[in-house]
Amino acid sequence: MHRFTEDTADLGRAILKYAAERLSLDPVPLDFSRTVEELDAVAGEAISADGIGGQAALRLFEDELALACLSIDHPRYLSFIPCAPTREAAMFDLVVGASSIYAGSWLEGAGAVYAENQALRWIADLAGLPEGAGGGFVQGGTIGNLSALVAARATARANAARTRDDARPFRVAATAGSHSSIASACEVMDAELMPVPLDDQLRLTGDALREVLLREGPETFFAVVATAGTTNLGVIDDLESVAAVCKEFGIWFHVDGAYGGAGLAAPSVRDRYKGVEQCDSFIVDPHKWLFAPFDCCALLYREPSLARAAHTQHASYLDVLNETPDWNPTDYSIGLTRRARGLPFWFSLVANGTDAYTAAIEQTLEVARFAAAQINERPYVELVREPDLSVVAFRRVGWTPRDYQQWSDGLLQRQEAFVVPSSHAGETIARFAIVNPNTTTDDIAAILDSMA
């Protein structure tokens, strides 16, 4: 099983052929989901004592299982937050898998860690973070947010211990617009999530935050979470005023830019992020709007030493790592074992250049502006709010939740698009999440036409 034979070589060629053909597909098929019963019928006995061989296993995946997975990179996949990796990033993911790199420590993966840190530095520069900022790539925004909040709590409690303050901070302040992972992180940490009211633009603001902190006691909070592009509506919080209040009370300021942080690379919207440069921690998912494959979240700290104090694991078998000044990515997040998940993103940045990233992001923003303009022109649809970024939320006048679901199901059944309903303030709505540069204005117009 671990020897390289002629069968292995043949399988390698077949897998490379499959990968090349998948990457060359234009258009990409949208495909369908399938039921458990349908998949049981074709693959229920796939795992056996003797095995079926690599070629047969590949055919099973190619002919059956792959077709039961929606193509997230389809230009009309506009639900949730899609993933549209560059060809270079997707291809290099094969290299990462074949290279057997452990990228948790400098000792074992110096070249990979060095390259990942270059990509992190580019993001840190976009956010205006200082030269000493750093962190690592983690699985996704959920682990990124959790890791940042763990570092925030450890820092707050260490500060309280130094000042002999009996307070033990246990609260996180955020709005209802924050990502679901913030509530999940608080559950995991046994922390209390304290909601802050939104303003009339659905943003977290410094004034509302200050009221909550003063009412509840600022000493009970160890972090404030602001969002740079909410998942549902694409809202950017008033980062500058929130940063000022966090500085006033000495509370960790975390910015969740998992989706929207990529907009920092776009000059047309860059001014909307004013204040992000003051954050203590920041995340952005390159697998969303920075065209990397799943799974890849960039986690950055203003002062990485604070995260290292919170996250470094200690054991006799780790002494050789912990007794050096080397940059070990596992010191900055939850988890010890890690693949070099930032390398495909780095490779694509190096191959394509950062100007190409700016152009691609601006292209999606142009399509989003077209969508908003089309919705304003059509009498049967209305914007929920003017988009800040590339998420466009809107309603179909007169539709019930059932109407939305039937429309969505029909789009997928006809292989026209994947646009699932969402909701806002108790109302069922539709939304476009436009992060694929291959999504065109014609795609948007065709989907809106289907609602007439």
Predicted local distance difference test score (pLDDT) of residue 163:
77
**pLDDT at residue 162 greater than cutoff 90:** no
Which tokens in the block code for residue 229? 């592009």
What values do phi and psi take at 167, rounded to 5? -65, 140
Given a cut of 80, whether residue 166 has pLDDT beyond it is no
Selection from 348, 260, 344, 281 nearest residue 124 by Cα: 281
pLDDT digits (tens, 9 = 90+) for 10-64: 999 999 999 999 999 998 999 999 999 999 999 999 999 999 999 999 999 999 9
Amino acid, single-letter form, for residue 379: P
The confidence score (pLDDT) of residue 410 equals 98
Q: Is 31 left (phi over 0), alpha (psi -120 to 50) or beta?
A: left
Q: Please choose, from the candidates 209, 227, 244, the residue with its C-alpha nearest in 3D space to the C-alpha of residue 389.
A: 227
Instruction: Quote the percentage of the chain above a pLDDT of 90.
Output: 95
Pairing relation of β-strands 427-433 and 192-195? unpaired
Maximum distance among all alpha carbons in the chain?
A: 71
Residue 385 pLDDT:
97
| pLDDT for residue 104 is more than 80 | yes
Evaluate whether 334 touches 138 at the Cβ level (below 8 Å). yes
Average pLDDT, rounded, for the chain: 97
pLDDT on residue 168: 84
Arithmetic mean of pLDDT, 168-194: 96
Q: pLDDT grade, residue 167 (50/70/90)?
A: confident
Encoded amino acid at 66, one letter: A
Read off the tokens for 145: 């947010």
Rounded CA separation 128/304 (Å): 15
> CA-CA-CA-CA torsion for 354, 356, 358, 359, nearest 10 degrees?
170
Tell me the sheet residues that pair with 92.
none
235 DSSP assignment: P
* Least-confidence region, from 96-100, 294-298, 317-321, 341-345: 317-321
pLDDT per residue over 332-384, tens digit each?
Answer: 999 999 999 999 999 999 999 999 999 999 999 999 999 999 999 999 999 99
Closest to 196 (Cα-Cα) out of 137, 127, 136, 246 = 246
Q: Is 162 left (phi over 0), alpha (psi -120 to 50) or beta?
A: alpha
Q: Do 421 and 430 contact (CB within 8 A), yes or no?
A: yes
For residue 173, the Cα-to-chain-centroid distance in whole angstroms is: 21
Cα gap 106→327, rounded to integer Å: 6
Asked whether 419 and 410 are in contact (CB, 8 A), the reply is: no
Per the CB < 8 A criterion, the answer to whether 287 and 295 are in contact is: yes
DSSP 286-312: HHHHS---SS-EEEEESSHHHHHHHH-
Average pLDDT estimate for 276-285 = 98
Per DSSP, 104 falls in state: S
Radius of gyration of the chain (CA): 23
Per-residue pLDDT tens digits for 300-340:
999 999 999 999 999 988 888 887 889 999 999 999 999 99
Percent of the chain scoring above 70 in pLDDT = 100
